[in-house]
Amino acid sequence: MHKGGIVLNLTIRDVAKAANVSPSTVSRVLNNSSRISDRTKKRVLKVIEELNYHPNNLARNFANQNSKMIGLIEDLNEVEAFNNIYFYKVIFGLEKTIYECGYNLMFINYNNLENKDIIRKLIMEKRVDGIIFPSFLFNKNILSFFRKKNFPFVLLGEPFEGINKVNWVDVDNKLAGELVTQHLIDKGYRKIAFIGPSFKVSFTYKRYLGYKETLEKNNFEINSKYVLTDINTENLAYITMNNLLDKHHEIDAVICVNNLIAYNALKVIKKKGLDIPKNFGIVTFDKYPLANYLEPKLTTIDLDLIALGVEAGKILVQSMENNIAKKQHAFISPFLAEEESTLRKG
Amino acid sequence: MHKGGIVLNLTIRDVAKAANVSPSTVSRVLNNSSRISDRTKKRVLKVIEELNYHPNNLARNFANQNSKMIGLIEDLNEVEAFNNIYFYKVIFGLEKTIYECGYNLMFINYNNLENKDIIRKLIMEKRVDGIIFPSFLFNKNILSFFRKKNFPFVLLGEPFEGINKVNWVDVDNKLAGELVTQHLIDKGYRKIAFIGPSFKVSFTYKRYLGYKETLEKNNFEINSKYVLTDINTENLAYITMNNLLDKHHEIDAVICVNNLIAYNALKVIKKKGLDIPKNFGIVTFDKYPLANYLEPKLTTIDLDLIALGVEAGKILVQSMENNIAKKQHAFISPFLAEEESTLRKG
DNA sequence: TTGTACGCGTTATCAT
DNA sequence: ATGATAACGCGTACAA
């Protein structure tokens, strides 16, 4: 296609002309919309093929006033390379799911932004048709904005408030805490410690709740001295575990909320000469990256984070296309993966 | 804004009316384009603020015939959770860089696609303004397509052919091999083995080249029996290392091309009772995820993969905006991070 | 079933 | 420095 010497892109009109139909017919074929005779449809398709015509997505989006794009906001930073497993799996599952539904994924790192009002911007400027973001960015203010706009979104992580008013997905961390605690009890461990970051980190608190309730259910005494939180550096994990074992020789198992804490706790346990799993049990959550590469390999509660991404995508697409008011949430079930660190007779 | 009872979005015309200027003036303010009187500019800006007007990005993209979107194609699969570190850092650096230049990132997982002709599709349909993809997807066919379209792109990884005809970024793997080999030599290790995946995996071969040339430079004999490749499972790594040490007691150091091979090699070395670092040295590439969490901690050649993403973004944006014919490439320099596994007097 | 005509919101060109 | 007007390519209401 040339006009005045400048190469132009093929349009729906060019196809129409070549196929001896009107532009709207071509459009209908493209969107395989209602009632087109098979004969013309085939003819048009053939011309499209011959001319190597590709619809201009910019024009389509404009005409439809949608972007066919789903925004994913994450908060990645440079140092925490260990977060990446979470990110990697969620984005894997999410992209796959939405792509199959005809959407593309736009990724935005909150951490890199100077303008923190990104959510409003994306929506007001019609850059995305739906949006997924971590629940820590959610609040009443944002909620009323979404309400007013009637804009579809899904939170990654159960929000602190309004859990029935919005779509969200999360790992069932309480269940994870229950599973791991019951496992230790079944294996005959009796004095079980719990060590993790701050309770403000929601999965820490949830896992703790599972721990606590399972102890209660089994009529175990709950000793607050066995519960250590606010462990946010590797060094602190080491020191804390060391103090704990010095003070409480009766402790015979520990639940570590993350791989890094487990790594350091394990170091302490080995240094003290305790025999794992015979005299001491240790467990953690999430298999990657370390749990299976320590000596001994750690029993973990493994989390299907790909499924988390898949669910987020499904819920979002559903609420975009059906425009349903009913809010959904998905709890991904964790599962026990027993390894050497608790492998003894119950 | 209402028309016939339906809520419409604010347009540039509404702003124009309210500010008593023409739509084109508003447009000029929005794009802070040439010569607008400060007075009108301020007035328009004030109205935009008051009305809470946001430009419709779909219309903008349509009018400009660009998407302000950069496509990143990666090939992630479900199982290889260890590859993700690479992915995480590259996307971090890339997104940051292009966002600052006014572009958004669209992420596509090649692995999830049934239609493998994604690159052409993205470009023909004008879904992206520039594209970044792994060099294994690159070939003559694709090259001629890009040439014809004059479309900007950057390869992740040095391509096998046409290295001066296209933009690409890569880690300087040959240098990495040199650094690590020279380090071992400086530390007094004399019989150095090399163990990795297939030479078809380009970084394996490059690291090997660095190893080989450094041995030559130091007048060390090159023994092909010390070079073991095609190690693509953990089990194979273990067996191969075991055989190697059984046959060649004189070996006193090993270079492991990745963390997983290093993990298994280390197991063998320890099982054989060799004293690290005193009598045996072991090194690997990339710090994450395992190198610093093994006993002993491994000396590594660390790779700044964030910088890789940053460079890819810079080169792409440059070639999009300047439309320069000159092809660029960036080699990211690796650096030695000495740890316990080679920590002895040279 | 197919064709005609117009509108989507912005930017660019050409006036003034 | 600002305004009027014509694209940009597609989808769709309405007509036939």
Domain boundaries, chain A: 12-55, 69-171+306-333, 173-303+336-342
d(CA B74, CA B132): 9
Within chain A, strands assigned E span 2-3, 6-7, 69-74, 104-109, 130-134, 153-156, 167-171, 192-195, 227-228, 253-256, 281-285, 299-302, 329-332, 335-337
- Are B301 and B255 in contact by the 8 Å Cβ rule? The answer is no
Around Cβ B251, how many Cβ atoms within 10 Å?
A: 20
Mean pLDDT calculated for residue range B168-190: 98
| Higher-confidence position of A299 and A31 | A299
Q: Which residue has the tokens 């190690």?
A: B231
Which residues 6+ apart lie within 8 Å of A80 measured at CB? none
d(CA A322, CA B167): 44
Query: B-chain residues within 8 Å CB-CB of A78?
Result: 92, 306
Shortest Cα distance from A118 to chain B (angstroms)? 12
> Using CB atoms and an 8 Å cut-off, which of residues 110-129 of chain B contact chain A?
112-113, 121, 124-127
d(CA A103, CA B30): 29
Burial status of residue A325 (CB atoms within 10 A of its CB: 0-12, 13-18, 19 or more): exposed
Same CATH fold assignment for domains A69-171+306-333 and A173-303+336-342 = yes
pLDDT tens, residue by residue, A5-27: 345 689 999 999 999 999 999 99
Q: Which residue of B has its CA nearest to A288?
A: B81
Task: Assign B6 a pLDDT band (cuts: 50, 70, 90).
Answer: very low
The residue type found at A26 is V
Residue B8's pLDDT is what? 63
For residue B285 the two structure tokens come to 């590439």
Torsion angles phi and psi, residue B238, rounded to 5: -65, -50
CB spacing of B109 vs A89 below 8 angstroms: no
pLDDT tens, residue by residue, A64-94: 999 999 999 999 988 766 667 788 899 999 9
CB spacing of A126 vs B57 below 8 angstroms: yes
The closest of A184, A235, A176 to A205, measured between CA atoms, is A176
d(CA B103, CA B105): 7
CA atoms within a 13 Å half-sphere pointing along the CA-CB vector of A73 = 26
Residue A120's pLDDT is what? 96
Statement: residue B150 has pLDDT above 70: yes
pLDDT tens, residue by residue, B76-108: 988 766 767 788 899 999 999 999 999 999 999
Task: Assign A137 a pLDDT band (cuts: 50, 70, 90).
Answer: very high
Query: A-chain residues within 8 Å CB-CB of B62?
Result: 58-59, 61-62
Residue A80's pLDDT is what? 66
Residue B134's pLDDT is what? 95
Shortest Cα distance from A22 to chain B (angstroms)? 21
d(CA A16, CA A23): 5
Q: In the sheet where A104-109 sits, what is the strand order?
A: A329-332, A167-171, A153-156, A130-134, A69-74, A104-109, B104-109, B69-74, B130-134, B153-156, B167-171, B329-332
pLDDT tens, residue by residue, B113-147: 888 899 999 999 999 999 999 999 999 999 999 99
Task: List beta partners, residue A167.
Answer: A154
For residue B302 the two structure tokens come to 């660390």
The closest of A145, A114, A141 to A131, measured between CA atoms, is A145
Selecting from 1.10.260.40, 3.40.50.1220, 1.10.645.10, 3.40.50.10880, what CATH number does the domain B12-55 have?
Answer: 1.10.260.40
The closest of A182, A250, A184 to A216, measured between CA atoms, is A182
Q: Using the structure, give the distance in angstroms from the CA atom of A127 to the C1' atom of D7, rounded to a whole number.
A: 23
Mean pLDDT calculated for residue range A318-323: 86
CB spacing of A81 vs B85 below 8 angstroms: yes
Query: A-chain residues within 8 Å CB-CB of B127?
Result: 57, 104
Mean pLDDT calculated for residue range B327-334: 94
d(CA A230, CA A253): 19
Query: A-chain residues within 8 Å CB-CB of B88?
Result: 76, 81, 84, 87-88
> Using CB atoms and an 8 Å cut-off, which of residues 299-338 of chain A contact chain B?
306
- Nearest residue to C2 via alpha carbon and C1': A25
> Using CB atoms and an 8 Å cut-off, which of residues 244-263 of chain A contact chain B?
263
Q: How many A/B residue pairs have CB atoms within 8 Å?
A: 129
CB spacing of A84 vs B82 below 8 angstroms: no
Rounded to 10 degrees, the C-alpha dihedral A177/A178/A180/A185 comes to 140
Give the three-class secondary structure for A169.
strand
The closest of B287, B312, B309 to B297, measured between CA atoms, is B287
Residue A38's pLDDT is what? 87
Question: Which CATH architecture best describes the domain B173-303+336-342?
Answer: 3-Layer(aba) Sandwich (3.40)
pLDDT tens, residue by residue, A81-129: 666 778 889 999 999 999 999 999 999 999 988 888 999 999 999 999 9
CB spacing of A106 vs B109 below 8 angstroms: no
> Average pLDDT, whole number, for chain B?
93
Statement: residue A1 has pLDDT above 80: no
Percent of chain B with pLDDT over 70: 95
What is the tally of helices (H) and strands (E) in chain A?
A: 12, 14
pLDDT tens, residue by residue, A182-195: 999 999 999 999 99
- Are A105 and A72 in contact by the 8 Å Cβ rule? The answer is yes
Residue A6's pLDDT is what? 42
Query: A-chain residues within 8 Å CB-CB of B95?
Result: 107-109, 112
pLDDT tens, residue by residue, A209-227: 999 999 999 999 999 999 9
- Are A239 and A194 in contact by the 8 Å Cβ rule? The answer is no
Question: Which CATH architecture best describes the domain A69-171+306-333?
Answer: 3-Layer(aba) Sandwich (3.40)
Residue B24's pLDDT is what? 93
Mean pLDDT calculated for residue range B48-61: 96
pLDDT tens, residue by residue, B203-257: 999 999 999 999 999 999 999 999 999 999 999 999 999 999 999 999 999 999 9
> Using CB atoms and an 8 Å cut-off, which of residues 21-80 of chain A contact chain B?
52, 54-59, 61-62, 65-67, 69, 76, 78
